Structure 1
Amino acid sequence: MTFLSPRHNRTRLLPTLLATGAMLAATAGAGRAADAQASFTPAQRQEIVEIMRNALKTDPTILSDAIAALRSNANAAQQNAARSALESHRGELTAPTATDGVLGNAKGQTTVVEFYDPRCPYCRKVLPDLDRLTRENRDLRIIEKVIPVLGQPSLIASQALVAAFVQGGQEGYFRMQGVVMNDSVQPTVERMRTLATQAGLNATQLVSDMNGAKVTSILQANMELARAIGLDGTPTFVFNARQIIPGAVSYDDLKKAIAQNH
């Protein structure tokens, strides 16, 4: 078996090492049951190990290059999976449901979906930027989907927001959002009762609806869609079902992504 020198043709050596490593990993687990002709001999495996060891001693950057290549491949695979998921759920990500809060132009052609947790500090911080974006872009609509991912307090706050929508539609939802997202007190059912009163809603009805079938089904649908697109944190933004940006993001980055996915 012929191998390249570790001092030369590093661009070609890297994929060779990665491929060899993959073959060794495969033969280690399956070689005992495979055809002997398809396996390396012990002497060949030892030769491979020695060459890899010497290559890493001579040029340690090979390892960092290999790690970078593996990360790049993982990122590419993740992006491909994300694109596939977005395409599969395009309808759900480009048109609001009857129970989604919508900022901006409800009939706008540029759609951003925000998945958010009302207890998430980054979700709270980005609210003024979302308002600003919809003021500046009259063709923009931002669909808000509440997902409780931060434990029981988040679930209580999320239930209250959806119950506010069930009771008062868009207006009731945004009034409740205004008090919930600016409240520093730990969410409890009684606290939601107080905030509902502050928002001008029927507090008794809201508390009753929080654990009702309609609120539960809305939150479950939001969570199922979030899982389907591989969401792993809040906030997460989806732009015209083409691009996902997870986590905290600046006003300028949001504006740029909106322009790119118009």
Structure 2
Amino acid sequence: MPKLTLKAAVAATALMAASSASAQDTFDFDQMTPDQQAAFGDAVRSYLLENPQTIMEAVARLEEMEAQQQVAVDQSLVDTHREALLDDGYSWVGGNPDGDFTIVEFMDYRCGYCRKASPEVAELVEQDGNIRLIVKEFPILGDASMVSSRFAIATKIVAGDEAYGQVHDALIALEGAPSEPVLKRLAGTLGLDGDAILAEMDSDEISGRIAETRALAQAMQISGTPSFVFGDEMVRGYAPLAAMQQIVAQGRATQ
């Protein structure tokens, strides 16, 4: 794993340099003569060979620092874009609209991990009873994703929030391609006007909503699905039910 080895070496060298600097206030590698730099390099190499665990300790510490920095960046992004996240005027709101804790999910109907997360998110919301769930349509996996999102958004515009919720659940479980006949049949099984929904799919209104959500995701450095905002905390990727329950509990404790 060359990348890890390089990262470990850099981190370990920095750790050694920092230790030396604390012992000698005047330590400055750039001010050393070539012979002194070579001697220092040999000393670091010798130390690491004799104490290889230092490499992994340094890598672990570096990753911890990077994680802490990412948390701070994510919290800043959530604060900056809170209004767009929580009240864009068009995203579907499920669960308890008056709940004391909000989860925002950026999802794609053709995403395997979104499909895996869907029943667990639903169970979390149902068991808790006090979670407000906001769904951001973020189709990034090709034409089938875009068609599915357009159909879902068109359903919300034509038939309302309850119909959207039904179509959302059906699309996340749909195995085949979302062709026009399939979507029309799906609408029919739910008692919806498939022709009206299909006619709305290519509207400028839907294009604008998808474009706005894409811009929001880009601004928040979200490039994959599912991506969540639990209160003030961002979670990039799938999290199992137990982990989500813990995140919600911790989030409530800090509100």
TM-score calculated relative to the size of structure 1:
0.78
- Give the corresponding residue for 2:69: 77
**Is 1:87 aligned to residue 79 of structure 2?**
yes
Alignment of 1:2-151 (within 5 A): 15-17=15-17, 39-93=31-85, 95-151=86-142
**Is 1:255 aligned to residue 245 of structure 2?**
yes
- Give the corresponding residue for 2:199: 208
**Is 1:178 aligned to residue 169 of structure 2?**
yes
**Is 1:219 aligned to residue 210 of structure 2?**
yes
- Give the corresponding residue for 2:230: 239
C-alpha displacement of 1:85? 0.7
- Report if aligned partners of 1:179, 1:199 keep a CA contact under 8 Å in 2: no
Distance 1:18 1:151, change over 3 A: farther
- Report if aligned partners of 1:18, 1:66 keep a CA contact under 8 Å in 2: no
- Report if aligned partners of 1:193, 1:203 keep a CA contact under 8 Å in 2: yes
- Residues 179-229 of structure 1 show CA distances to partners (whole Å, capped at 9, x for unaligned) of 212211023344333333333333233233222211111112222222222
Q: Which entry has the higher C-alpha Rg, 1 or 2? A: 1
Give the Cα–Cα distance (whole angstroms) in 1 for the partners of residues 31 and 154 of structure 2: 63
C-alpha displacement of 1:148? 1.0
- Residues 25-44 of structure 1 show CA distances to partners (whole Å, capped at 9, x for unaligned) of xxxxxxxxxxxx96443222
- Report if aligned partners of 2:102, 2:132 keep a CA contact under 8 Å in 1: yes
Give the Cα–Cα distance (whole angstroms) in 1 for the partners of residues 163 and 13 of structure 2: 63
Give the Cα–Cα distance (whole angstroms) in 2 for the partners of residues 220 and 75 of structure 1: 30
- Give the corresponding residue for 1:34: none
Identity %: 26
- Residues 110-167 of structure 1 show CA distances to partners (whole Å, capped at 9, x for unaligned) of 1111111111233223333333333333332111111112222211111111111121
Indicate the SS of the match to 1:97. coil
Give the Cα–Cα distance (whole angstroms) in 2 for the partners of residues 96 and 250 of structure 1: 27
- Bigger shift: residues 224-233 or 72-81: 224-233
- Report if aligned partners of 2:16, 2:44 keep a CA contact under 8 Å in 1: no
Number of equivalent positions: 233
TM-score calculated relative to the size of structure 2:
0.80
Distance 1:19 1:223, change over 3 A: farther
- Give the corresponding residue for 2:4: none
Structure holding more helix per residue: 2
**Is 1:156 aligned to residue 147 of structure 2?**
yes
Say what the alpha-carbon RMSD is for the aligned residues: 2.6
Gaps of 5+ in 1: 1-11, 21-36
Indicate the SS of the match to 2:222. coil
Counterpart AA for 2:238: A
Gaps of 5+ in 2: 1-11, 21-28
